[in-house]
Structure 1
Amino acid sequence: MSTISSTSPATPASAPDHFVNQSYFYRWRPSFHLIAPHGWLNDPCGPGYDPKTGLYHVAFQWNPNGPDWGDIAWGHSTSVDLVSWTTSNVPCLMPSASYDCKGVFTGCLRPTGVDGKQDGTLTYVYTSVSRLPIHYTIPYTPGCESLSIATSHDEGRTWIREHYNPILPGPPEELKVTGWRDPFITSWPLAPANIRQDNILYGFLSGGIVAKTPTVFVYAVNRDNLADWKYMGPLLNVGLNFRPSRWSGDFGVNWEVANVATLTDDEGTSRTFVIIGTEGCLPMVDTASNSKDKNNNAIARHKRIQRSQLWIGLKPKTTGTDSSSALSDYGFGGIFDGGLFYAANSFWDPLSKSRVVVGWITEEDLPDDLRHHQGWSGLISLPRVLKLITIHGVKRARSTTDLKKITSYEITADLNNTATYTIRTLGIVPHSNLRKLRDKAHETKLTNVLLTTLNEDTAIISKSKAFIPLSTSRCEVDAKIAVGKDSGRVGIIIYHSLDLDIKTLLYFDPVSETFIIERPQIPESTSINHGVESVPHTLFTQVSAGNKDGDYSQTELEAEEALHIRAFYDTSVLEVFVNSRSVLSTRIYLSGTSHNRLYGIYLFAEGLKNVTTFSSESSRLLSGSVWDGLAA
């Protein structure tokens, strides 16, 4: 659960027909993203797949009474494919019992058959809240958060609270916590030997220990009785505001919506990852990239709540090195999404045989007055799939001379070759079902196009081989670019106006090893935050495959990986995936009629400041496709 509230008074919202100015309701409303009928939306809750009905379920924290946080119930949506959604106009769970009268906060779903039950039962385990406020910055009130269960026997249409709720009244008495919520239940194949047991699942609750560390509280959960939880200890002790480097982010003082997933690559290697929302992050300036854009606009995160969506790769506990009782050690970690994405929640998808994640894309860049006019706030991201990425024979990064300074990777020397390394990290890619959005879209393909310096001349841009005209506000771009040695910024421009004056830039800066989104400039008087988004990113040079068993010593052919950008644009929502390991999600709020469509995509590259002409080392689009008119 995300404890976010507005200081402004709530403006009641209802169906669009009741709005005085309906244009505000639809102006920035996306078309193929999951969104509440109206009102405030935040964390996705209880995502999962029911094999009995063949339906995916995603609930979400919802205030149906207005566009501000409060009166938190659960909205509910179903889908046959994770692309097209049917959303109920009424909550599936309302704050009505004594133990959840102040809110039905984030939780998880255990669907039919997962625990051996074939009776069609769906089970929600959720955070039940009886007292407010709750926030990591104020003393914790014992009993304010508890754990409860609701079940459905009619395929998710209605839900019944269990008579024995709450199943846990609060955190262990011996702990002084900053928070304790957001239950997540899963198996854990790589669980530490000292807590591994037969016939149990593992329950994870998010929070922190006062003045010590944010953490995840680990429980053993009886597979045959989901009301039976036994505390086993904290998962990690990283300390307060742990920040290994710019590549990993600030791990804050309190964690929310922690998900634990064991991922296995194509070679059979497995690693366990924790996906976490981190609260209490310290304001920071990324000195390796620009803290301001060329128009002197501050980067977006400085105007936002100081939190992040991060991940950690666990490593087995090393005995004798830590006096705490943490069950695992920190291995490496990174930024799950560097933009407006938070509260990631996941489930195992038996159809795609993958771990699927959805998250909350916030409305916090829009000031309260405009958010109240539109009558809704927030939406659910497109579904993402987690992977363990393994790359062998890595010789160097684009600019960083010491690979081990890139702390979002596990780095080990390759066998029989001290000059190359195997690197592993968390991979994040769009779900393959999203290809269905292209079914009725118009596709334009490009191959082998030399990319040239950004030109401000409209006539020249529109006639360029790298320009693709568009006619809607819903598109996908998939581009692979060979980034030349003499290249500066390389990427994509999205044009929002016919005169090509209003634009969004998505580009890789090889020098600072950063992927950046520059949103359109808008009048300061609007108070909309269109600051610069950024996330650390690099490209790796590999030595081509040599002998077996990882011996690269007899082959010295080198090649840098291509820059691979996949971007989805939906009216005001932009989600960008780079090389399957760096992600930025953001919002773009345009006024007037310009929001009704996009006008074109342009792929560009700039030379370094000391390079005056392009050469064979310049950047080149290897392959690219643009789909205009995406529809669910």
Structure 2
Amino acid sequence: MYYNGVYHLLYQYNPKGAVWGNIVWAHSVSTDLINWIALEPAIFPSKVFDQYGCWSGSATVLPGNKPVILYTGIIDKNNTQVQNYAVPANLSDPYLREWVKPDDNPLIVATAGVNKTAFRDPTTAWLGPDGHYRILVGGRRKNRGVAFLYRSKDFKKWAKAKHAIHTSAGTGNWECPDFFPVTKQGTNGLDTSVLGQNVKHVMKVSLDATRFEYYTLGQYYPQFDVYVPDNTSADNWKGLRYDYGNFYASKSFFDPSKNRRILWGWANESDSTDDDVKKGWAGIQLIPRTITLDPNGRQLLQWPVQELNTLRGNNVHLNKQLLKSGDLVEVTGITPAQADVEVTFSFPSLDKAEPFDPSWRNLDAQDVCSKRGSFVEGGLGPFGLATLASADLKEYTPVFFRIFKDADKHVVLMCSDATTSSLKDKLYTPSFAGFVDVDLTDKKLSLRSLIDHSVVESFGAGGKTCISSRVYPTIAVSDEAHLYAFNNGTETVTIETLDAWSMNIAKMN
């Protein structure tokens, strides 16, 4: 949340080790979303209503500029989940270091028809036209994902709505639900309570069964407290995703200081638990992103917050650089292990786009990428960036595009392929990928990649498709890392412009 000039990040954390367990709400603060100060934990198990765990939740700033946290508490060894609240002990403390959990907790308990062991992660509240607050709590009925809706006039007494705001069959338990408005006009973010004709709503859920998230865009009817997704994307695990890589348990919030909605995502490790224990830590927050509605109305756009640019150092610029079939061009003069790269590729024609196999139409983009990786010569692509590369290319993480011709349209595939990222054993190295809903009239595709030692966070076509990979090179480390632009398609591709920056080190806790 943003409160009195300070950003607060509260997150699930084990202060006793690099494995899950002993979870508290750690607390870090920042004035620029980039440099962070760690404070003492804000919430930790201490009362009968959370003695077995303090799990995820959300913050809401109530009238009078009073923040309140809603969170899930575990009350017994049977994993019974309830919804609690906490408030700052001292509103005059600029960092809100201490939080109090009043004794009238819990606020919400599972009633008949609600699975009390799958009942968690309350959302930020919004205020309805009737003056009542509303929140969602994630859950499931058998294998159907559910977002339960609760209403309250005073933020203390909560009543469950007769019907869930939305459900979807076959999606399993919904964790970390998020529900918020986006404007159909312009790029400003909206406060969570905004309603109106020029507004769409976003419903995002994190799927416990698959460990990834999906979202839909649709219409919220406040008079009925019902959300109806548009028919432009699937309302299941095959639906739109914020990020097609290592990205989970995300949360957005409205930043009133800059009128924007900011999205946070968490990336787990992809190495072994033993490796995590040796490192002494596990899990990272990715770079915060602004989130807006694509002008096409069918999806969201994401982009790193503008404050990230303050870390940019030395710059290298290329333009009008031809990449013929098999070409590999090194980008020098920066620190490739810690860099920000923006590149726009162009191509003279779509004629060489390879046929899209009809049997792939039921596959995930990730499956297609695993069949048509960066090594496999195509017509138009693969072309892109080889990040965290060793000089001999024994290790590299390629982020690239391939363009296919389907029956009546072109299909753009974006991949971040970790299969060649490391010589180390026992790593999770998938071919992360997503399709890109982009107009190719101008015959251009853009890519931005944030490279930071063990993470490559990429934004395709201005943030239409995003992929974050966790990788662990053994050779391409620090000064031994290289960055290349490449083209393994038969069609010549041009680097219209490429800008790469060495990135300075942020202050992190």
Same fold, TM exceeding 0.5? yes
> Structure 1 residues 474 and 214 mapped into 2: Cα distance closer, same or farther (>3 Å)?
same
Q: Residue 472 of structure 1: CA displacement?
A: 5.2
Instruction: Report 1:115-514 matches (<5 A).
Output: 115-118=62-65, 121-132=66-77, 134=79, 143-153=80-90, 154-155=93-94, 156-168=96-108, 170-176=109-115, 179-187=118-126, 196-211=128-143, 213-222=144-153, 225-232=154-161, 233-240=163-170, 252-266=171-185, 269-280=198-209, 306-315=210-219, 327-331=226-230, 332-333=232-233, 334-363=240-269, 365-391=270-296, 423-438=297-312, 441-455=313-327, 461=328, 464=329, 467-471=331-335, 473-483=337-347, 484-485=349-350, 486=352, 487-511=380-404, 513-514=412-413
Q: What one-letter code is carried by the residue in structure 2 that aligns with 1:186?
A: A
Task: Give structure 1 regions of 4+ aligned residues with deviation exceeding 4 angstroms.
Answer: 522-525
Q: Residue 597 of structure 1: CA displacement?
A: 3.3
* Alignment-derived partner of residue 426 in structure 2: 527
* C-alpha contact (below 8 Å) 1:71/1:102 kept by paired residues: no
Percent pairwise identity: 22
* Alignment-derived partner of residue 34 in structure 1: none
Q: Say whether 1:584 aligns with 2:456.
A: no
* Alignment-derived partner of residue 415 in structure 2: 516
Distance 2:98 2:50 in 1: 17
Q: Residue 510 of structure 1: CA displacement?
A: 0.9
* C-alpha contact (below 8 Å) 2:82/2:106 kept by paired residues: no
* C-alpha contact (below 8 Å) 1:496/1:597 kept by paired residues: no
Q: Which secondary structure does the structure 2 equivalent of 1:355 belong to?
A: strand
Q: Which secondary structure does the structure 1 equivalent of 2:274 belong to?
A: helix
Q: What one-letter code is carried by the residue in structure 2 that aligns with 1:197?
A: P
Instruction: Report 1:103-114 matches (<5 A).
Output: 103-111=53-61
| Stretch deviating more after TM superposition (97-106 or 262-271) | 262-271
Distance 1:469 1:600 in 2: 10
> Structure 1 residues 448 and 132 mapped into 2: Cα distance closer, same or farther (>3 Å)?
farther
Distance 1:373 1:527 in 2: 15
Q: Residue 504 of structure 1: CA displacement?
A: 1.4
| Stretch deviating more after TM superposition (491-500 or 505-514) | 491-500
Deviations 1:74-95 (A, max 9, x none): 111000010111112x422211
Distance 1:429 1:507 in 2: 18
Distance 1:426 1:122 in 2: 28
Q: Residue 381 of structure 1: CA displacement?
A: 1.2
Deviations 1:496-533 (A, max 9, x none): 32444422111011126321112263777721122321
> Structure 1 residues 504 and 207 mapped into 2: Cα distance closer, same or farther (>3 Å)?
same
* C-alpha contact (below 8 Å) 1:214/1:237 kept by paired residues: yes
Distance 1:598 1:539 in 2: 35
Deviations 1:57-79 (A, max 9, x none): 00110111111111111111000
Unaligned runs of 5+ in 2: 187-196, 234-239, 353-379, 405-410
* C-alpha contact (below 8 Å) 2:315/2:334 kept by paired residues: no
* Alignment-derived partner of residue 540 in structure 1: 439
Distance 2:184 2:227 in 1: 21
* C-alpha contact (below 8 Å) 2:181/2:199 kept by paired residues: yes
| Stretch deviating more after TM superposition (620-629 or 354-363) | 620-629
Distance 2:495 2:414 in 1: 17
Q: What one-letter code is carried by the residue in structure 2 that aligns with 1:449?
A: Q
* Alignment-derived partner of residue 295 in structure 1: none
Distance 1:561 1:358 in 2: 32
Q: Residue 469 of structure 1: CA displacement?
A: 4.5
TM-score by length of 2: 0.82
Deviations 1:531-557 (A, max 9, x none): 32112224314xxxxxxxxxxxxxxxx
> Structure 1 residues 133 and 384 mapped into 2: Cα distance closer, same or farther (>3 Å)?
farther
* C-alpha contact (below 8 Å) 1:571/1:595 kept by paired residues: yes
> Structure 1 residues 601 and 261 mapped into 2: Cα distance closer, same or farther (>3 Å)?
same
Q: Which secondary structure does the structure 2 equivalent of 1:428 belong to?
A: strand
Q: What one-letter code is carried by the residue in structure 1 that aligns with 2:335?
A: S
CA-atom RMSD in angstroms: 2.6
Distance 1:630 1:479 in 2: 20
* C-alpha contact (below 8 Å) 2:396/2:422 kept by paired residues: no
Q: Residue 173 of structure 1: CA displacement?
A: 1.9
* Alignment-derived partner of residue 94 in structure 1: 44
Distance 1:311 1:206 in 2: 14
Q: Residue 426 of structure 1: CA displacement?
A: 1.4
Q: Say whether 1:628 aligns with 2:474.
A: no
> Structure 1 residues 237 and 499 mapped into 2: Cα distance closer, same or farther (>3 Å)?
closer
Distance 2:11 2:220 in 1: 34
Distance 1:97 1:533 in 2: 42
Q: What one-letter code is carried by the residue in structure 1 that aligns with 2:382?
A: R
Unaligned runs of 5+ in 1: 1-47, 135-142, 189-195, 241-251, 281-305, 320-324, 392-422, 456-460, 542-558, 609-613
Q: Residue 337 of structure 1: CA displacement?
A: 1.0
Distance 1:144 1:253 in 2: 17
* C-alpha contact (below 8 Å) 1:183/1:257 kept by paired residues: yes
> Structure 1 residues 446 and 524 mapped into 2: Cα distance closer, same or farther (>3 Å)?
closer
> Structure 1 residues 522 and 566 mapped into 2: Cα distance closer, same or farther (>3 Å)?
closer
* C-alpha contact (below 8 Å) 1:214/1:239 kept by paired residues: yes
> Structure 1 residues 147 and 122 mapped into 2: Cα distance closer, same or farther (>3 Å)?
same
Q: Residue 217 of structure 1: CA displacement?
A: 0.9
> Structure 1 residues 578 and 598 mapped into 2: Cα distance closer, same or farther (>3 Å)?
farther
* Alignment-derived partner of residue 566 in structure 1: 448
Distance 2:30 2:104 in 1: 31
Distance 1:582 1:178 in 2: 34
Q: Which secondary structure does the structure 1 equivalent of 2:477 belong to?
A: helix
Q: Which secondary structure does the structure 1 equivalent of 2:486 belong to?
A: strand
* Alignment-derived partner of residue 8 in structure 1: none
Q: Which secondary structure does the structure 2 equivalent of 1:447 belong to?
A: strand
> Structure 1 residues 316 and 117 mapped into 2: Cα distance closer, same or farther (>3 Å)?
closer
For these two proteins, the number of residue pairs brought into alignment is 449
Q: What one-letter code is carried by the residue in structure 1 that aligns with 2:215?
A: W
Q: Residue 376 of structure 1: CA displacement?
A: 1.1
* Alignment-derived partner of residue 414 in structure 1: none
> Structure 1 residues 186 and 561 mapped into 2: Cα distance closer, same or farther (>3 Å)?
farther
Q: What one-letter code is carried by the residue in structure 1 that aligns with 2:260?
A: S
* Alignment-derived partner of residue 190 in structure 2: none
Q: Which secondary structure does the structure 1 equivalent of 2:307 belong to?
A: helix
* Alignment-derived partner of residue 484 in structure 2: 602
